[in-house]
Every structure is written in structure tokens, then in C-alpha cells.
Amino acid sequence: MEPNKNIEEKNINNTILKIYGVSPLDLYILFHLKKANIDYGKSIASILEIPIDIIIDELDKLEMMGLIQRHQGSSIKRSEAKFKLAEQVRKHHTYYKLTKETCLAIRYLTRNYNAMNNYFKNITGYNNILKLLIFLRKAENEHAGTISKVLGEDMENTIIILEKLEKLGLVNIVKEKIIKAKHRKAKPKEETRTHHIYYKITRMAELILRYSELNSFPKQD
């Protein structure tokens, strides 16, 4: 049994390394399939509010990488597809699910702060990105000056990081000229005029954090 266990652990570690190379959109799709168990492209696209063609391309890519597989069979039970309301539905779409190794790898990532932070470090080149996203989820809107303190970076690097995160679809620039106190929870005032550029996490980043179990910073020893 021991050799089989070692092979399984090696396969899971190799899968984690594959996941470290995917985009945040692909990571969300994997998290979504872990939560839903089985789902199809249109369903995922509707949740993210993005064109279905983009999701279909990403599903094809993840399938080629061996991270997901197509569900076989002519119908799906509600117990299999957790986001379905009907007891049983006939398949009119192509449904996907995680492979066994991907399922175990995603379960590990969603429960391990350092492993998830390493994913974001790998795609950005900077540390503490997960800490920043968790902070912005709670703060809702914040400017680069405060964010630089969270990251432990100077302003120049902070702006570079925020621009990378914006390109990756993880943060957006806040367009409102006035931010109400309830939407700036790190420094609550009755309202704040946006003399600085403020940032907030995207819906995709919000869902990645929500589907994981990592909603707070790890305790420091």
C-alpha cells in the first residue's frame, strides 16, 4: 500500500504545480467545479457575468491539461450537480468535473494559506498577494497608500502590483467620486472623496475567496 500512497501523493503534488501555472480565471473554474461537483460552461459564465465563449475556451484548456474531465452519461442527478435544483436533468450541455487528483489538490489549496499565497506569488512575482485580497474583501475600497502598508512594499512596487492584479482580473479601480463609510471599512468616515485612486476586488476574486476557507490572515507566532 505504501508505494501506491507515494504515487498518489506525487500525482497530487504534480497537479498542484500545474494549478500554480493557470490564470485566476482558470483557478476560479476549478474552485467552482469543486463546489458544484459537476457543471457546464453556460452556468459558470452566468455566475461570472462574462461571455460563454471565454469559459468554453478555458474549459478546453483545463481538459487538455488533465485537470478536469467530461461527465459521462445521458442524465445528471441533483446529488451529483449541487447547483442544479431539479432532482434529475437530461444533459443538453457538456458537463465537466474535476479529476480525482485535481479535487484533492484544490481541497488542499483552499485549506492552506501558504499554498494559496504561493499560487498568487507565482503569477505576480510578489508575496502577500493573498493577504491583500483578503484585506480588500473586508475593506471593500482602499487606496494605494494603505495597500502598500498591507503588502509591506513601497509605493512604486505597490502600483506595479495593483496594475498586475488589474490585468489578471483580480482588482478594479473604483470609479465613484465619493465613497460612503460602509464601502470603506478600513478607515470608516461618513464619506470619502476620492482624491486618490481607490481599488476593490473583482467579482471573480470575491468568489475565489468565498469558495475557499481562507477568509483571514494566519496567526503570527
Which grid coordinates belong to 179? 465613497
Buried residues in 193-221 as b, exposed as e (16+ CB within 10 A): ebeeebbbbbebbebbbebbebeeeeeee
pLDDT reading at 191 higher than 50: no
Q: What is the pLDDT of residues 52-69, one digit of tens each?
A: 999 999 999 999 999 999
Which grid coordinates belong to 177? 467620486
What DSSP state is assigned to residue 67? S
Q: What is the pLDDT of residues 81-140, one digit of tens each?
A: 445 444 445 555 789 999 999 999 999 999 999 999 999 999 999 999 999 999 999 988
Write the CATH number of the domain with boundaries 121-211.
1.10.10.10
How much is the pLDDT for 11?
82
How is domain 2-111 classified at the architecture level of CATH? Orthogonal Bundle (1.10)
Can you give the residue ranges of every domain in the chain?
A: 2-111, 121-211
Q: pTM of the predicted model, to two decimals?
A: 0.82
Average pLDDT over all residues of the chain: 83
CATH fold match for the domains 2-111 and 121-211:
yes
User: Assign residue 176 a region: left if phi > 0, alpha if psi is -120 to 50, beta otherwise?
Assistant: beta
Which grid coordinates belong to 153? 512594499
Instruction: Give the separation between CA 92 and CA 74, rounded to whole angstroms.
Output: 9
Instruction: Give the separation between CA 10 and CA 119, rounded to whole angstroms.
Output: 18
How much is the pLDDT for 86?
42
Which tops the pLDDT comparison, 191 or 21? 21
pLDDT reading at 145 higher than 70: yes
